[in-house]
Amino acid sequence: MLNGLVGNFYYVNGEKVPAYYGLVQWEGNYYYVNDYAAIVKNVKKYVSKTNGLTWADGTAIESGYYEFDAEGKMIIE
């Protein structure tokens, strides 16, 4: 059963998450699922749907612009 990041898509319990799913966390990294149900890469993206995720210190991730690298991982400075 597929779970997590597989190629350019994110799966939960064998199902590819739908378009506009928003921010997801996989293996300690954050990724953003766009309007094509794919992980965004090499882009600065406005994240409006954070899905209640938090930073490592427990602080809520707020909506805003975030950069994502060539692998789709959010760049955290």
Number of domains observed in the structure of the chain: 1
For 24-68, the pLDDT digits (tens) are 999 999 999 999 999 999 999 999 999 999 999 999 999 999 999
For 36-47, the pLDDT digits (tens) are 999 999 999 999
pLDDT score for 77: 83
- What's the domain range around 50? 4-68
pTM: 0.92
Domain membership flag for residue 73: no
Dist. CA 9–CA 17, nearest whole Å:
8
Domain membership flag for residue 74: no
Domain membership flag for residue 51: yes
Q: Are 48 and 25 in contact (CB under 8 A)?
A: no
* pLDDT band for position 9 (cuts 50, 70, 90): very high
Domain membership flag for residue 27: yes
Tally of CA atoms within 13 A in the half-sphere of 61 that contains its CB: 24
pLDDT score for 75: 98
